Amino acid sequence: MSDILASILQQKQVEVAQLNSAELRKLAFASPPPQADFYASIRRANHLTPVRLIAELKRASPSKGLLAPHADLITIGSQYQANGASAISVLTDEKFFKGSLETLAGLRSAGISIPLLRKDFIIDDTQLYQTRLYGASAVLLIVAAQPEGQLKALHATALELGLTPLVEVHDEGELEVALSISGLRALGVNNRNLRTFEVNLQTTLRLLPAIPKDVASVAESGIFGVADVVQLAQAGIDAILVGEGIITSADIPAKVRELSTVAGQP
């Protein structure tokens, strides 16, 4: 199978080259800092409390095609908040995921108060300036998307902007890189291989024991029902990030309530 991640990153280089970095930096630092605490929102109090739900707004994906092309994402975001989501992940990539930065701004204008995570393929500081400017509290940084030095520089810039970086890994080598980042507070394990888009929930279960207890742990991708969440809850995960399993549901509010109330066992 072709390397999907490489294609996406090539497109990101084109997009970033068209942005005015100096202007966006000035606007970002002049804008209000994030008010919602992403880390606190996704941190599970203890093993018996419910796993935190990061509910994702996602119109499409390269692997599944169109999921919810005409959905009113602002209304759905309000449903997420009203029914127990701890944070909202917003896909902002346009070409491959049919997303938009405007969704972030729209959610804030609609009065969403829980943290917003910008989920995209971040390769440059300019994208971090956008992230703060459009109202997100957190930003996804993918270890597989850039060299280690660049990743650490992006992480530092995100912290400078008041953003919480969620650093994403999907194997042991990437986890080692993530754990070497100064100030790491949130780590996501993607059960989807970004090069092949194959999914295996065991990826999280395999890597979770190596994540320090003071780092918030997030399982991403391949989570659809209570059985999946129970397994992750009992393993000690702090939060789950669910997109397709919610956005394609016939009853989105009920699905959010279902996934946001699963706790581990004594």
Q: What is the rounded CA–CA span in Å between residue 51 and residue 260?
A: 6
The residues, ordered by sequence, that sit 6+ positions from 203 with a Cβ below 8 Å of its Cβ are 170, 171, 189, 190, 191
**What pLDDT does residue 101 have?**
96
Q: Which of the following is catalytic: 12, 41, 58, 260?
A: 58
Q: At 85, which helix (H) or strand (E)?
A: none
Instruction: Give φ, ψ of 249 to 5 degrees.
Output: -70, 145
User: Has 152 been annotated as catalytic?
Assistant: no
What pTM, to 2 d.p., does this model score?
0.95
**What pLDDT does residue 70 have?**
76
User: Has 56 been annotated as catalytic?
Assistant: yes
Q: What is the rounded CA–CA span in Å between residue 168 and residue 175?
A: 8
User: Has 119 been annotated as catalytic?
Assistant: yes
CB half-sphere exposure, 68, CA atoms < 13 A: 20
User: Has 190 been annotated as catalytic?
Assistant: yes
**What pLDDT does residue 87 have?**
98
**What pLDDT does residue 234 have?**
93
Q: What is the rounded CA–CA span in Å between residue 16 and residue 62?
A: 21
* Burial bucket for residue 162 (CB in 10 Å: 0-12, 13-18, 19+): middle
Q: Which of the following is catalytic: 83, 89, 100, 221?
A: 221
**Can you list the residues of the chain whose pLDDT is less than 50?**
1-2, 266
**What pLDDT does residue 217 have?**
98
The residues, ordered by sequence, that sit 6+ positions from 257 with a Cβ below 8 Å of its Cβ are 83, 84
| Residue 174 Rama label (left phi>0; alpha psi -120 to 50; beta) | alpha
CATH 2.60.40.790 fits 4-259, yes or no: no
User: Has 109 been annotated as catalytic?
Assistant: no
**What pLDDT does residue 169 have?**
97
**What pLDDT does residue 265 have?**
59
Q: Which of the following is catalytic: 12, 119, 152, 255?
A: 119
User: Has 100 been annotated as catalytic?
Assistant: no
**What pLDDT does residue 150 have?**
97
Domain residue extents for the chain? 4-259
CB half-sphere exposure, 145, CA atoms < 13 A: 23
Task: State CA 255 to chain mean position distance.
Answer: 19
User: Has 98 been annotated as catalytic?
Assistant: no
The residues, ordered by sequence, that sit 6+ positions from 108 with a Cβ below 8 Å of its Cβ are 116, 135
